[in-house]
């Protein structure tokens, strides 16, 4: 789990990630972490994990990367005030001092687990204090004697503060013992000057607490009587007048806090959402809580003026159309890929490693070697799986000698037998049982563009004809709906049968049949075409489609 205040560099692949995209994010984040211990490199994914990738992650005991579908600024990217809340038993005086020391006008009130209970502002405190012309105010508020002692800066001369709350009135004790007997009731808080006889009289009259002011000594008789009657005696340097004024400030803030209509945000709340929700409100500060409702701090609108852009490393893609949402609001630091160059702009120069090999994980494996780092078994297994997946067990024309060399090194570190492992991996990935056609299509799906034309191409690989036929039956009638939903010109899906290196190409879109005929020089039957020897989307399908799109029909 990433700490709430952390600002990691996100290592992320393309939308609708395949095995290479997921494994590359994990492997490269681990490499960067080994090379740079000063920063946190967090592997992420921009979509759901498909069944093939699930098999790989389960096999090597690796958790899926964090799901991140939008990298637009969030509240966690703002410098909001990280500060703890205060307890509901906090006195008005202590709350006022806390506001002053923190330079704010709002406090979060929290329970013992730091869960938000309410808010209290300087205005709330002032209003409560002005309304305290009531001798029962401390009893009504459930004030604790500990708060009374802190407010009056008093020492305990007799009794114990622990767990005791005010039950009676506030009384200023003056006059003869007869007058005090008549004016003091059991449980009252009595404020006295320095007369020894008045101290004893107040205790004997049944006071629960006697406050001796002006630094006067407490008489032996009053101490003995207090111990016998379980009476609390506090001793303060304040005058009776000042003590009488200040004692009401020991009322707890629970009576002042707001609990209704609180507007709260989490660190994951999009910054734009925060702006819209706070714009019509007059509050200056808003609480920030975690997913469990625990208080993390306070946000002001000013905090949104200097948002930190998320920092990204892109793996297995370099086209904006395939990238996570919000990319234009993030800072791209690096790109590690093996595809054609796409339309991607960056604000400044970046490290760009693009190698014409079969898998991004081949490039990352080379980077491990260049830095003399040996990946652990799990990391090696992930990279090996990605190479096997993207090269279709070395059958794809995208496969190079570099891929084969990397696989030979990684298989020793991963400790697997290639053929049975790859068979199990492809079988799991090709199983469409219980899947919707949308899930099948988006298992490995990318969107491309050429001029005004935008089209999507999915790719599914199968080791058995049964799984291929099941997928075709689900996908063929669905592609037209996908076309309308995504507002593209064409939607195509490659169903590759690995044993014979043959692809069935399903298609939808006005004029797509003619486009496929010109691109591959094959016969199109209905909304499908058979492409013998075609297994690579990157090297065989996309270049052919782009060439046909750019060349007008009849030329």
Nearest Cα neighbor of 431 from 381, 477, 469 is 469
Question: Is the Cβ–Cβ distance between 226 and 204 less than 8 Å?
Answer: no
Element (H, E) at 147: helix 145-151
Question: Is the Cβ–Cβ distance between 192 and 179 less than 8 Å?
Answer: no
Distances, alpha carbon 448 to alpha carbons 356, 360, 443, in Å? 19, 19, 16
Query: What would the pLDDT profile of 101-150 be if each residue is shown by its tens digit?
Result: 998 889 999 999 999 999 998 888 887 766 656 788 888 888 999 999 99
Range list of H helices, 431-541: 437-441, 465-475, 479-486, 512-520
Overall average pLDDT of the 532-550 stretch: 93
- With 0-12 CB in 10 A as exposed, 13-18 as middle and 19+ as buried, what is 453? middle
Please state which of the ranges 3-7, 52-56, 185-189, 350-354 shows the lowest mean pLDDT: 3-7
What is the band of 155 on the pLDDT scale with cuts at 50, 70, 90?
very high
Residue 159 pLDDT > 90: yes
- Residue in this structure with the two tokens 């297995």, named with its chain if needed: 316
Which pLDDT does position 486 carry in this prediction?
93
Question: Is the Cβ–Cβ distance between 81 and 287 less than 8 Å?
Answer: no
User: 465-500 in b/e burial notation, b at 16+ Cβ within 10 A?
Assistant: eebbebbbebbbebbeebbeeeebbbbbbbbbbbee
Q: Which two tokens stand for residue 289?
A: 């809580």
Residue 244 pLDDT > 70: yes
Which pLDDT does position 348 carry in this prediction?
85
What is the band of 1 on the pLDDT scale with cuts at 50, 70, 90?
very low
C-alpha angle 475-479-480 in degrees, rounded to nearest 5: 140
Element (H, E) at 273: helix 271-278
Which pLDDT does position 3 carry in this prediction?
47
Which pLDDT does position 326 carry in this prediction?
94
Question: Is the Cβ–Cβ distance between 210 and 203 less than 8 Å?
Answer: yes
Residues 6+ apart with CB under 8 A from 35: 371, 373
End-to-end CA distance of the chain: 57
Cα–Cα distance for residue pair 309/73, rounded to 1 Å? 6
Computed over every residue of the chain, the mean pLDDT equals: 92
3-class DSSP state of 533 = coil
What is the band of 8 on the pLDDT scale with cuts at 50, 70, 90?
very high
Query: What would the pLDDT profile of 280-305 be if each residue is shown by its tens digit?
Result: 888 889 999 999 999 999 999 888 88
Question: Is the Cβ–Cβ distance between 428 and 54 less than 8 Å?
Answer: yes
Query: What would the pLDDT profile of 256-266 be if each residue is shown by its tens digit?
Result: 888 998 999 99
What is the band of 169 on the pLDDT scale with cuts at 50, 70, 90?
very high
Overall average pLDDT of the 156-162 stretch: 92
Tell me the backbone φ, ψ of residue 296, rounded to 5 degrees. -110, -25
Nearest Cα neighbor of 443 from 453, 457, 464, 455 is 457
Which pLDDT does position 63 carry in this prediction?
97
Cα–Cα distance for residue pair 122/109, rounded to 1 Å? 13
Q: Which two tokens stand for residue 258?
A: 């707001």
Q: Which two tokens stand for residue 449?
A: 């563009």
Cα–Cα distance for residue pair 225/277, rounded to 1 Å? 60
Query: What would the pLDDT profile of 432-463 be if each residue is shown by its tens digit?
Result: 999 999 999 998 899 998 888 999 999 999 99
Domains of the chain by start residue, with CATH: 9-73+310-429 (3.90.1640.10), 77-128+254-306 (3.10.580.10), 133-250 (3.40.1390.20), 437-550 (3.10.310.20)
Residue 4 pLDDT > 70: no
Cα–Cα distance for residue pair 287/295, rounded to 1 Å? 7
- Residue in this structure with the two tokens 């094959």, named with its chain if needed: 522
Strands of the sheet containing 9-12, edge to edge, are 66-67, 41-45, 9-12, 311-315, 331-337, 351-354
Within 342-472, strands assigned E span 351-354, 445-450, 453-462
What is the band of 533 on the pLDDT scale with cuts at 50, 70, 90?
very high
Cα-Cα-Cα-Cα dihedral of 219, 222, 165, 249, to 10°? -40
Element (H, E) at 156: strand 155-158
Residue 555 pLDDT > 70: no
Cα–Cα distance for residue pair 211/31, rounded to 1 Å? 67
Question: Is the Cβ–Cβ distance between 287 and 119 less than 8 Å?
Answer: yes
Element (H, E) at 33: helix 19-35
Which pLDDT does position 440 carry in this prediction?
93
Distances, alpha carbon 130 to alpha carbons 241, 258, 440, in Å? 17, 17, 67
Query: What would the pLDDT profile of 339-387 be if each residue is shown by its tens digit?
Result: 988 878 888 899 999 999 999 999 999 999 999 999 999 999 999 999 9
* Strand-pair partners of 502: 497, 532
Question: Is the Cβ–Cβ distance between 356 and 400 less than 8 Å?
Answer: yes
Q: Which two tokens stand for residue 412?
A: 């020793």
Residue 488 pLDDT > 70: yes
Residue scoring higher pLDDT (137 or 15): 15
Question: Is the Cβ–Cβ distance between 213 and 236 less than 8 Å?
Answer: yes
Residue 553 pLDDT > 70: no
Question: Is the Cβ–Cβ distance between 64 and 103 less than 8 Å?
Answer: no
Share of the chain above pLDDT 90, in %: 75
Q: Which two tokens stand for residue 260?
A: 């209704």
Nearest Cα neighbor of 11 from 73, 87, 66 is 66
Which pLDDT does position 132 carry in this prediction?
58
3-class DSSP state of 202 = helix
Cα–Cα distance for residue pair 157/402, rounded to 1 Å? 84
Residue 337 pLDDT > 80: yes
Cα–Cα distance for residue pair 364/294, rounded to 1 Å? 40
Q: Which two tokens stand for residue 378?
A: 């799990």
Which pLDDT does position 2 carry in this prediction?
46
């Amino acid at each position: 789990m990433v700490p709430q205040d952390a600002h990691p560099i996100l290592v992320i692949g393309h939308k609708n990630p395949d095995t290479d995209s997921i494994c590359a994010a994990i492997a490269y984040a681990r490499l960067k972490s080994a090379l740079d211990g000063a920063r946190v490199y967090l592997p992420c994914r921009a979509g759901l994990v498909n069944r093939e990738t699930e098999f790989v992650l389960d096999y090597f005991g690796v958790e899926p990367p964090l799901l991140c579908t939008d990298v637009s600024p969030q509240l966690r990217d703002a410098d909001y005030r990280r500060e703890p809340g205060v307890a509901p038993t906090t006195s008005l005086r202590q709350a006022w001092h806390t506001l002053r020391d923190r330079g704010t006008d709002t406090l979060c009130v929290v329970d013992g687990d730091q869960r938000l209970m309410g808010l209290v502002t300087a205005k709330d405190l002032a209003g409560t204090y002005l309304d305290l012309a009531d001798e029962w105010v401390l009893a009504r508020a459930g004030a604790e004697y500990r708060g009374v002692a802190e407010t009056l800066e008093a020492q305990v001369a007799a009794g114990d503060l622990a767990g005791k709350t005010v039950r009676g009135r506030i009384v200023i004790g003056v006059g003869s013992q007869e007058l005090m007997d008549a004016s003091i009731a059991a449980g009252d808080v009595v404020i006295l000057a320095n007369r020894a006889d008045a101290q004893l009289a107040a205790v004997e009259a049944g006071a629960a607490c006697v406050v001796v002011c002006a630094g006067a000594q407490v008489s032996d008789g009053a101490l003995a009587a207090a111990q016998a009657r379980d009476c609390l005696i506090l001793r303060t340097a304040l005058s009776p007048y000042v003590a009488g004024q200040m004692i009401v400030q020991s009322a707890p803030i629970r009576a002042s806090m707001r609990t209704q209509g609180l507007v709260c945000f989490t660190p994951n709340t999009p910054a734009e959402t925060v702006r819209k929700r706070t714009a019509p409100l007059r509050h200056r500060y808003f609480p920030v809580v975690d997913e469990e409702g625990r208080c993390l701090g306070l946000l002001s609108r000013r905090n949104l003026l200097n948002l930190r852009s998320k920092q990204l490393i892109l793996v297995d893609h370099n086209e904006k159309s395939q990238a996570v949402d919000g990319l234009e609001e993030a800072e791209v630091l690096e790109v590690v890929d093996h595809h054609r160059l796409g339309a991607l702009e960056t604000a400044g120069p970046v490290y760009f490693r693009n190698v014409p090999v079969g898998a991004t994980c081949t490039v990352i494996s080379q980077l491990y070697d260049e830095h003399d780092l040996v990946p652990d078994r799990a990391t090696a297994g992930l990279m090996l799986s990605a190479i096997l997946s993207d090269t279709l067990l070395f059958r794809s024309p995208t496969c190079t000698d570099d891929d084969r060399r990397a696989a030979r090194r990684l298989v020793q570190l991963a400790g697997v037998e290639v053929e049975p492992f790859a068979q199990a991996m492809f079988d799991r990935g090709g199983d469409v049982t219980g899947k919707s056609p949308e899930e099948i299509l988006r298992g490995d799906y990318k969107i491309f563009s050429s001029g005004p034309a935008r089209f999507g191409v999915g790719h599914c690989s199968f080791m058995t004809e049964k799984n291929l036929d099941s997928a075709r039956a689900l996908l063929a009638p669905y592609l037209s709906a996908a076309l309308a939903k995504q507002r593209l010109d064409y939607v195509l899906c490659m169903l590759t049968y690995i044993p014979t290196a043959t692809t069935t190409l399903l298609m939808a879109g006005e004029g797509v049949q003619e486009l496929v005929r010109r691109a591959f020089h094959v016969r199109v039957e209905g909304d499908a075409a058979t492409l013998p020897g075609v297994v690579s989307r990157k090297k065989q399908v996309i270049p052919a489609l782009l060439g046909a799109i750019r060349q007008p029909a009849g030329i």
